[in-house]
Structure 1
């Protein structure tokens, strides 16, 4: 099969890029994303390392009418979203995912407008949700501080502002717990960033802690409203969301450091965060539990085998990595070597598919991590499983529940009858929150 990009020249179509596609060699067909910076060239997404084994890194390039490719315009297409001028259609910059969304603009006028956009919400994470045909007209999404997330229309040419609405209209500002970023050093010297959410009431001294590692590992927790962290803080817990090694959004070095560390130093990074907060006097190291979804659930269960935790909560958690990889391969619908999926927040953009078999295998390393050993579990465990979870089937949690009970361990189990992996509905989150709060009250009271 041959892939071509053709351009209209002098009344006829002329090939400017031709590539033979070999499925066995995982040859990638470039994706046409839009127009380049000059409005004449084409912006394409292409593999940056076509000869490498395993999942590839993708970057954006400009393809000129004579077939010449530019140097890469970004660092990693999985974290960079192209921004196009709404009038000309030309590439104007990139949005970069991280603790907050940051921007690089090639268009100085748009750069100036965005500087004004930042001024609308000092100290908050501000994202451009949409632009009008006049780039001075924007819809902005802001979150942080006591704002759980809100949309606003601005016309920076006239100064007009319209408040559109809140992401969580039923959550009053006084209910929102404060969040800040902390940085600490892992045992081997690696710098780790984390989000710290503090209870709205009382002084943050010697409090009970819940460590809340994100799913992935190829994901990150940035500044903004996290529903489960807010639930826990409202009940009096300090919440730590560590961006352990393997996380994205904090530099390529941190992401690469997670390869082969699924059951290794990625886990110790979380425990190092507990020690850091204890040294600061913020938490009581004897009153710590760990909770997480997906891979975060695996981390919690490993913590129950041995770690600074009184209890562990796995929400749609992975208890058998070999079975998880098998399921990921069954679910893969495209060439897994690409490890990309469409970005739901941006047209013509992609993001890393953390459930790609190739990426999962990379984090496993040369040997698939062991399944959770029920006899080795030392702390009480809560398992929450979604009946319709296609990523981590509920059978994983059911099987572990049975093995824990057979081994005489303290294990609670809640199955969500109408939910999927991501707990996307209010009902799913309410059921999960109630189970988690009740379990923590029994095994690690906040007061």
Structure 2
């Protein structure tokens, strides 16, 4: 364990680094995160990257020994891991593939669960004997009385027809040959035995700790009508046209009820639903409605034991009394830091936590309840342990129509806002239903280290501010959402924070689109533009998804397709259509394995801007949308700094 921990904890000490040094320093993604304790608590798995790409490291913390290093990366994206027993670790990964199907050439994101055998040092794909499985990660039960098997659910072909080609991944697409089935699957070799095939009309299902169905959503007549059923009783009915307004999140361990999310008017938030009669009641903790929050699940029972929400940093509340007590105890002991519980062993005697403060990488610990001892695991960025990071502060900005927009500002290390004005970069977040906060942001902190003030407005449509604020972004994809970003920039200028009253705008995903739109809507102040994996032609982007799918509905809501009566109206919010209006330097960075914003979006804008002075387009190689590895992050920073040094220098 000492060798590997030492490799993960190298400390850089230097004076003022060059831009190249800053790129390498803040681009490093080789810290630890996602600590996961085995059922006994003797073994600990963490996300690590000692070779610069996402991997898994396993330690025996009872003996202080290294157990395994499992390198991943390349075409495989690491998504998480957990322990069904002390003998096996299940690792969730995704893989990009482009395949010829009955519907033509299609891009797929294959989701797989890998079983790592601790004793044999072997890695096997679960459900490896089942063909046509797109999502093979749905372990619905770890079978508590069986250490050698787990129960998975997957959409699979339910007939023995031959000649079937890969088509839809959903049971309500591509005919009735598709249905949900459960598979009892061996952890030592990934082989499976079909346990049960659900009705063809079943579109999704939820299970108890033993792997038995407790609720399912069915489409009785293959129409848009949906029914939530339990024990052959209909609990709730809705239309799939508004599927995003209703979702089953799982089974609550304490109450034995379903956790339901509703997004309809005053009924917005989380509810308990009775499996007996479908009655619903708002989830309340300490007398307060939980509202919009994410469930925290027990990896052994798969049940919900608490909730977490975002208030600038992640905040947790637990229905499980032991976890609730531990969270309160450690929050008091680590005053000044936001403590969150990451995992626990089966009897809750050992608990892994994270502790973070604004602008700093999180540190991780294991708490031994019996001994009352807190032992360090590592840091999300141990190489920054001795480095000063920029202070992150928040301000409420009033948009032009009066809406309050919370905005986060990262100041160069050792400086305060009173030291302004600063060379400035505005950095809108992706999503767009997401939000920036007080936590460590590698890109923002790297820019701050170079001497920039970084402004990150949570424009309308962002998450974390309630239903009305989120809904205010619907149909404002290239409209008021961009205006909010421009208004944050105008506010900063009015406060004397922005040197030369001009800034560059940089962002990724929707943030990359927003950067390009700022060059059109806030032209006078937007000196240069950086878009990473950004949308450039929103209507072509939405057209790459099935509009009736959850993803299609998501983008349609924000874009508001029915608001546009002509191509001329659509062109107003399209950077590609308005490419001739740009006169600022523009940097486009794009990953080749991006399944969220397809690479074609970068090609469209590159073609439209070709030959313009100051335009540069750079491929990030076989990276994906999320820029998780050290190599791609360092490349993004190097390209960013070179571009800024030429067009908007801070040094």
**Common fold: TM-score over 0.5:** yes
Partner of residue 129, structure 1: 342
The answer to whether the 8 Å contact 1:98/1:248 transfers is: no
Q: Give the Å deviation of 1:23.
A: 4.7
Query: 2: distance between equivalents of 1:136 and 1:285?
Result: 57
Partner of residue 272, structure 2: 61
- What whole-Å deviation, never above 9, does each CA across 1:14-54 have from its counterpart, x for those lacking one? 9988865455315265757234434xx332446665xx9xx
Q: Give the Å deviation of 1:67.
A: 3.2
Name the SS for the 1:152 alignment partner.
Answer: strand
Q: CA, structure 1 residues 242+124, in 2 after alignment: closer, same or farther (shift >3 Å)?
A: farther
Q: Do residues 320 (structure 1) and 320 (structure 2) align?
A: no
Q: Do residues 43 (structure 1) and 264 (structure 2) align?
A: no
After superposition, residues 240-319 of structure 1 pair within 5 angstroms as: 240-284=455-499, 286-307=501-522, 308-319=525-536
Partner of residue 357, structure 1: 552
Partner of residue 316, structure 2: 103
Q: CA, structure 1 residues 7+118, in 2 after alignment: closer, same or farther (shift >3 Å)?
A: closer
Partner of residue 353, structure 1: none
Q: CA, structure 1 residues 326+381, in 2 after alignment: closer, same or farther (shift >3 Å)?
A: same
Q: More deviation in 300-309 or 205-214?
A: 300-309
Q: Give the Å deviation of 1:258.
A: 0.4
Query: 2: distance between equivalents of 1:374 and 1:433?
Result: 25
Partner of residue 232, structure 1: 447
More strand by share: 2
Partner of residue 179, structure 1: 392
Q: CA, structure 1 residues 287+48, in 2 after alignment: closer, same or farther (shift >3 Å)?
A: closer
Q: Do residues 24 (structure 1) and 188 (structure 2) align?
A: no
Decide which structure has the larger Cα Rg and report it: 2
Partner of residue 406, structure 2: 193
- What whole-Å deviation, never above 9, does each CA across 1:57-105 have from its counterpart, x for those lacking one? 77442324x334331427799742145598x987543222342222334
Q: Give the Å deviation of 1:316.
A: 1.0
Q: More deviation in 418-427 or 195-204?
A: 195-204
The answer to whether the 8 Å contact 1:200/1:233 transfers is: yes
Counterpart of 2:250 (choices 33, 49, 70) is 33
The answer to whether the 8 Å contact 1:35/1:42 transfers is: yes
Q: Do residues 379 (structure 1) and 584 (structure 2) align?
A: yes
Q: Give the Å deviation of 1:300.
A: 0.7
Q: Do residues 143 (structure 1) and 356 (structure 2) align?
A: yes
- What whole-Å deviation, never above 9, does each CA across 1:142-191 have from its counterpart, x for those lacking one? 22246312211123564310010111222234242222222211111111
Query: 2: distance between equivalents of 1:146 and 1:230?
Result: 8
Name the SS for the 1:174 alignment partner.
Answer: coil
Q: Give the Å deviation of 1:321.
A: 0.5
Partner of residue 168, structure 1: 381
Q: CA, structure 1 residues 134+316, in 2 after alignment: closer, same or farther (shift >3 Å)?
A: same
Unaligned residue ranges in structure 2 (runs of 5+): 1-199, 229-246, 565-569
Q: CA, structure 1 residues 311+63, in 2 after alignment: closer, same or farther (shift >3 Å)?
A: same
Query: 2: distance between equivalents of 1:16 and 1:219?
Result: 30
The answer to whether the 8 Å contact 1:153/1:161 transfers is: yes
- What whole-Å deviation, never above 9, does each CA across 1:217-238 have from its counterpart, x for those lacking one? 1111122111111111110001
TM-score when normalising by structure 1: 0.81
- What whole-Å deviation, never above 9, does each CA across 1:1-22 have from its counterpart, x for those lacking one? 55598999xxxx9998886545
Q: Give the Å deviation of 1:391.
A: 2.3
Partner of residue 352, structure 1: none
Q: CA, structure 1 residues 28+212, in 2 after alignment: closer, same or farther (shift >3 Å)?
A: farther
User: Following TM superposition, where does structure 1 have runs of at least 4 consecutive aligned residues deviating by more than 6 angstroms?
Assistant: 4-8, 13-18, 74-78
Partner of residue 119, structure 1: 332
The answer to whether the 8 Å contact 2:305/2:320 transfers is: yes
Query: 1: distance between equivalents of 2:478 and 2:395?
Result: 24
The answer to whether the 8 Å contact 2:429/2:511 transfers is: yes
Name the SS for the 1:223 alignment partner.
Answer: coil
Q: CA, structure 1 residues 134+285, in 2 after alignment: closer, same or farther (shift >3 Å)?
A: farther
Work out the number of aligned pairs and report it. Answer: 411
Name the SS for the 1:148 alignment partner.
Answer: coil
Q: CA, structure 1 residues 198+18, in 2 after alignment: closer, same or farther (shift >3 Å)?
A: closer
Counterpart of 1:400 (choices 590, 595, 605) is 605
Partner of residue 280, structure 2: 70
Q: More deviation in 432-441 or 149-158?
A: 149-158
Q: Give the Å deviation of 1:410.
A: 2.6
Unaligned residue ranges in structure 1 (runs of 5+): 340-355
